[in-house]
Structure 1
Amino acid sequence: MAKRGGGYKAPRNYDPRGNAGKGGKGRAGKAGTGRAGAGRPATGRGAVKRNAESRDVQSKETRSKDARSRDAQPRGAASRGGASKSPRLTPDREPRPRVKPEAREESAKARPRRERSGQGSNGLDDARTGRHADEVVSRKPLEDRVFERLEANITTAADAEGVSFEDLGLDPRLVEALAEIGAEEPFPIQVATIPDALGGKHVLGRGRTGSGKTIAFGAALVQRLFWMHGKRKKGVGRAPLALILVPTRELALQLDRTIQPLARALGLFTTQIYGGVGYTKQNTSLKRGVDIVIGTPGRVEDLERRGHLDLSQIAITVLDEADEMSAMGFIEPVERILDLTKPTGQRMLFSATLDAAVLGLVAGYMPNPAVHELDEDAVGEIEHRVLIVERREREAVLAQLAGSGGRVLIFRRMRAGAEDLAVALRTHGVAAVALHGDLSQPERTANLEQFTNGKVNALVATDVAARGIHVDDVRLVVQADPPDEYKTYLHRAGRTGRAGNRGIVVTLVQPGRERRMIELLERAEIDAPMIPAGPGSASLDEFMA
């Protein structure tokens, strides 16, 4: 401290009673006001200027002394905690101890989030973190475990031979509606699960994407609702009777395109509710009255809290892509939703992977379920390849694969990467669009329609955005970024080889990273050769259409 007149000069925010003023204010009065005295600056406009200059000089002197003191301090004299500066003391006062702030506990009953215009709840948000799911899936998993599978009845392709939808007990009008959407004969998963579902049993069905799970539970749900409430009055504002929960808005829209014509064939009505869009249209649909709601857990729970959605009459609940909802942190919201439905209601759970990760849901809400698992030989043939590609050659190799003919779906881990790759492919002359969370809902819908209608050959997508893609003739799936988890690999691979077609899955890895890929393939129970490749190499010829 600077000294004046041989005595100690108190700092300007010092209070002899032990009260330090804020910003130079305190009981000693404001700077430049009050009587001049010990520890107080003189008054007057000129005095204020001199006082300010004096404080600047004193401050510089103090900093200079502090610096010389630190330089003179021997090494190792600093505290072991790593702090190099000691707290600045004032007379008769001890330094205030630094206390690490405690983590703020979240309320058990979180308030509904205030949403911006055009946004909604958890359309694509991770329920555990609140972050966008495109970012969530890109993080390195804490644990990529292979759980013990539940015991199941295995269904093979031979089990479906000679079986028709009429044989399964479906209404002729429903069978006709199925034929109109291209489902003339049932797939093995449908043959296995529809009879148990029509009988009112809880059903667990495992089959990878493209195996026919949507029609398996959709047709059974519509038929059973018609039997239970066929003569129900179609009054305005009637509460829904069935609920289908899915992880993403894209999947909700895709399911509705399949289930809506089946429901209307028997006089039932559907609606979709999901985040990322405003509430008005969805509220209007619910006020009109619907029989089947297809939605994401976040928006379903949101509308129920707001009083727009009555779940008390739900007699049938379907959980589609249950493992993905688990991975995204939706299990607790799903449980809260199930608690609001009829306790005696029927529950059906379908997933690409059916293991102990969803055992809690099964134990709590699905006693004595009928468990069915599809033999992988019962669906289309999928071949797997791993290409070892140098980083500098990746873009050229991806452009060659994307332009190989037919529909090509390319996976990137991050949203920015998906957009950048789509732009790069277009510079190589490949018609490509992106699908990720940074796009608005109309943009996403338009890009997906371009890919579905064949206007573009390549679609570059993030994992979450691609979960709603159900296109039967994707010839080639390319993983530009290898997945972090084996379940992600299975979901990506399920976008090809659908409806009995042949498909190819190609994964690009850099030299030196083969070991991690081998371990992931072992967990997924997939054999894939490792092939060195580069632009124009003969190893890429087999992927040409």
Structure 2
Amino acid sequence: MSLDKLKLSKPLVTAMNDAGYISAKEIQAKTMSRIIGGQDIIAVGPEGCGKTTTYVLGVLMKLKYSTDEAPKVLILVPDGERVEAVIAEFMLLSKNRDLRIIGLYGTGGMEEEINTLLDGIDIVVATPTRARAVYLKLGLNLNRLQTFIVDDAEVIVKQGMQLPVAELARSAGKVQHLIFTTVVHDKLNLMIDQFMNFPVTIEVEDLGESKAETHALLLYQVPNFKTKINLLNLLLRDDEVFDKVIVFVNSRLTAQKLSNNLHAAKPGAVAVLNPLFFDEEGFDHIDDFKVTPEARVLIVANEGFSGLDLSGIHFMFHFELPEEKETFLSRAVKEGEEEVVAITFATDLELAEVRKIEQSLGKKIEVAALPDDLVIDKSVKVQAVKTRKETEDAPKGGGAYHEKKESNSKSYNYGIGQKAKMTMKKKHG
């Protein structure tokens, strides 16, 4: 789409062209008029889809020259690196404009920051904890705030900074709220529900044109670690289908913990590759697991085990997502004719990593419904949250309601079997 379609000012279009932007991104086309119009928005899209540039353009379009001391825009990001990146984007697109902007992310004394704020500022880019600390020192005046932005919101939630975000938003009163994130989940909704009412949710996928040829990939979305254990035990009951299984975790300590919590019908059925303690059931080499008839489940820690020979293993579980997405991709991409089913367990906080993997693969991972007889651990209570979808009428009453996307509301259950059994038939056929 042409930049002209965004209806930006001529100086902004010139600045975009000078910066190398020759066309509008999908997320900009879908959100810009709403941002300029003052709507509350939750914008969802993968890394690199243009979320930061979108709100920078929106702010620069709306921000009028002022000599007020109090800031008009507060932007919250996860860390100092992101603070600097956002400020750099403002500087890139606001040439020939006297823009007063400050970054708050340090951990030391804040006297200099407060003095700069008192001299007068237009835009504050900050980490939630630092912004809250300065606010409590009466250095950050939110009385004239017009726009409250949270970028990389899913990372902020993962880092546990929901409280300062919500406190600052409530202190700002009636302002426009813009949330930018790679994924929406219950924990994120619980944060934004404290200060947003019926925001419009706009989502872009931007998966790319090239699609990798992969094994059969399935995704189970679960609330917490204990429910992952319950789910794995439930699926592994079917020893006819799951006769040889690799389960990947991130550390040897987690491998040990998981091995102690899996139900083994026979001695030696569950083992760890290179166990943490010498008296645990385990193997030093994956080939030993393959040729041991009674061994059904091998738990492998991602740390220190790259390039394993997985030939002959037709089922693998990613109990935890690897810290490096390339590790997952190396196992997911199909090589040869061997049929493999790769099953992933992900909590809300891991969904952002799933989206990055999907972007690299160029396709979505199929979501499987949780089995009806799965025991859901209730140690973390999740409340229903309300939000309004862009394409639907706003529901009656207060709060916000966020409905699952159709792609995330599957009614089938592959876990106990159809796809797995079909794969087994191919293997033995």
Query: How many Å separate the matches in 2 of 1:293 and 1:206?
Result: 23
- CA contact under 8 A between 1:188 and 1:378: conserved in structure 2? no
Change (3 A) 1:185 1:397: farther
Q: Which residue of 2 aligns with 1:303?
A: 134
- Give me the whole-angstrom Cα distance separating, in 1, the residues matched to 2:165 and 2:203: 23
More divergent stretch after superposition (482-491 vs 213-222): 482-491
Alignment equivalent of 2:205, drawn from 370, 375, 395: 375
Where does residue 4 of structure 2 map in the other structure?
166
Paired residue type of 1:267: D
Pick the aligned partner of 2:81 from 250, 255, 264: 250
Conserved? CA contact 2:6–2:33, under 8 Å? yes
Aligned partners of 1:196 and 1:370 also within 8 Å: no
Q: Which amino acid aligns with 1:349?
A: I
The question of whether the paired residues in 2 share the 8 Å contact of 1:383 and 1:504 is answered with no
Q: Distance in 1 between matches of 2:135 and 2:212?
A: 42
* 1:268 counterpart SS class: coil
AA matched with 1:279: M
Residue in structure 2 matched with residue 315 of structure 1 by the alignment: 146
Q: CA–CA distance in 2 between the matches of 1:484 and 1:478?
A: 15
Aligned pair in 2 of structure 1 residues 340, 291: CA closer, same or farther (>3 Å)?
same
Q: CA RMSD in A?
A: 4.6
Per-residue Cα deviation, 1:36-58 (whole angstroms, up to 9, x for no partner): xxxxxxxxxxxxxxxxxxxxxxx
Deviation of 1:396 (Å): 7.4
Give the distance between the partners of 1:381 and 1:487, measured in 2 at CA.
Answer: 25
Equivalents in 2 of 1:263, 1:274: separation in Å?
Answer: 22
Alpha-carbon deviation of 1:184?
2.0
1:177 deviates by 2.2
Candidates 458, 474, 492, aligned match of 2:353: 492
Q: Secondary structure at the match of 1:478?
A: helix
- Structure 2: tracts of 5 or more residues without a match: 218-245, 249-272, 275-283, 286-301, 309-319, 331-342, 365-406, 421-429
**CA distance in structure 2 between the partners assigned to 1:524 and 1:280 by the alignment:** 51
Following superposition, the deviation at residue 355 of structure 1 comes to 3.7
Q: State how far apart, in whole Å, the 2-side matches of 1:284 and 1:399 are.
A: 55
Q: Which runs of 5+ in 1 are unaligned?
A: 1-162, 401-412, 414-460, 464-475, 506-521, 531-545
Corresponding residue of 1:270: 101
Distance 1:192 1:488, change over 3 A: same
Task: Find the residue that maps to 1:326 and give its secondary structure.
Answer: helix
Relative distance call for 1:524 and 1:288 in structure 2 (3 A) is farther
Match of 2:25 in 1: 187
What does residue range 430-509 of structure 1 map to in structure 2 within 5 Å?
A: 477-478=326-327, 485-492=346-353
Check whether the contact 2:105–2:126 (CA below 8 A) recurs between aligned residues: yes
- Indicate conservation of the 8 Å contact 1:210/1:497, yes or no: no
User: Equivalents in 1 of 2:77, 2:89: separation in Å?
Assistant: 14
Q: Deviations over 1:57-96 (max 9, x none)?
A: xxxxxxxxxxxxxxxxxxxxxxxxxxxxxxxxxxxxxxxx
**What is the CA–CA distance in structure 2 between the aligned matches of 1:287 and 1:357, rounded to whole Å?**
35
In the other structure, the counterpart of 1:353 is 183
How far is the alpha carbon of 1:491 from its aligned partner? Answer: 3.0
Contact 1:260 1:269 (C-alpha < 8 Å) held by counterparts: no
Q: 1:362 and 1:489, CA in 2 relative to 1: closer, same or farther beyond 3 A?
A: closer
Match of 1:261 in 2: 92
Deviation at 1:262, TM superposition (A): 2.2
Superposition deviation, residue 372 in structure 1: 0.8
| CA displacement at 1:253 relative to structure 2 | 2.4
> Deviations along 1:440-493, whole A, 9 cap, x unmatched?
xxxxxxxxxxxxxxxxxxxxx979xxxxxxxxxxxx73369x998444544336
Relative to the length of structure 2, the TM-score reads: 0.52
Aligned letter for 2:71? P
Contact 2:148 2:177 in 1 (8 A): yes
Deviates more, 1:262-271 or 1:485-494: 485-494
| C-alpha spacing 1:496/1:287, structure 2 compared with 1 (3 Å) | farther
Where does residue 202 of structure 1 map in the other structure? 40
| Cα drift, residue 294 of structure 1 | 1.1
- Asked whether the equivalents of residues 129 and 164 of structure 2 are also in contact (C-alpha less than 8 Å), the reply is yes
Moved over 6 A (4+): 382-389, 392-397, 501-505, 522-525
Classify 1:201/1:304 alpha carbon distance in 2 versus 1 (closer, same or farther; 3 Å): same
Aligned AA for 1:491? A
Cα deviation, 1:353-407, whole Å, max 9, x if unaligned, reads: 124434345544333422211135468757777998866787776599xxxxxxx
Matched, 1:336 2:161: no
Paired AA for residue 214 in structure 1: T
AA in 2 matched with 1:269: R
Rounded to whole Å, the distance in 2 between the matches of 1:274 and 1:375 is: 31
In the TM superposition, residue 268 of structure 1 has moved relative to its aligned partner by 2.1
Report the residue type matching 1:213 in the other structure: K
Note closer, same or farther for the CA distance 1:173–1:524 as it changes in structure 2 (3 Å cut). Answer: farther
Q: 1:377-396, aligned counterparts within 5 Å?
A: 377=207
Query: In 1, distance between residues paired with 2:15 and 2:95?
Result: 9
Q: Any residues of structure 2 matched to 1:75-114 within 5 Å, and which?
A: none
Change (3 A) 1:284 1:503: farther
Residue type of the alignment partner of 1:339: R
Q: Is the 8 A contact 1:497 1:504 kept in 2?
A: yes
**Count of residues in correspondence between the two structures:** 276
Shift of residue 311, structure 1, vs aligned partner: 1.6
TM-score by length of 1: 0.42
Residue deviations 1:95-130 (CA, integer Å, cap 9, x gap):
xxxxxxxxxxxxxxxxxxxxxxxxxxxxxxxxxxxx
